Amino acid sequence: MKIYLDNCCYNRPFDNQSDIVVKLESEAMSFIQERIKLGKLDLVWSYIMDYENSFNPFEDRQISIEKWRQFAKEDVDVNAEIVKQAKNLTSMNIKKKDALHIACALYAKCQYFLTTDLKLLNKKVDGISIINPVDFLKIQGVQDGN
């Protein structure tokens, strides 16, 4: 199963863990990332992930996030199809960088786009499920019989 992790997912473990929602999302990300390392989930990476991460003001976070690229089964480069799809997504009031991330996930035929961004979680995009990491694990638990 192919998944795409939004930049906010990678940053979640660095956020203030005193909020229970943040803590749950961080724990979910830890579990998801372990499943990626074990080859149970196929991670998709993209040029826009590299670009956005390059502006992370915290070098330790930037380096930590960059290391996840080695676990990606697929690395998506920019092309006309992605740019066109992203333009269509911006017409749905999705910010440009978010639209590029989603367009990359669609191009790679990911089943899920994981994010903690509440504005994105309210969006419905044909061809992909936009979902929170905690909810993703709930769905996977049912599918895996756990």
Summarize pLDDT for 73-127 with one digit per residue, the tens. Answer: 999 999 999 999 999 999 999 999 999 999 999 999 999 999 999 999 989 999 9
- Choosing among 3.30.60, 2.50.20, 1.10.1760, 3.40.50, the CATH entry for 2-77+109-144 is 3.40.50
Buried b (16+ CB within 10 A) or exposed e, 88-107: ebeeeebeebbbbbbbbbbb
Give me the residue spans of the domains in the chain: 2-77+109-144
DSSP state of 116: -
Which pLDDT belongs to residue 140? 86
> What is the chain's mean pLDDT, rounded?
95
Which pLDDT belongs to residue 34? 95
The pTM of the full predicted model, rounded to 2 decimals, is: 0.93
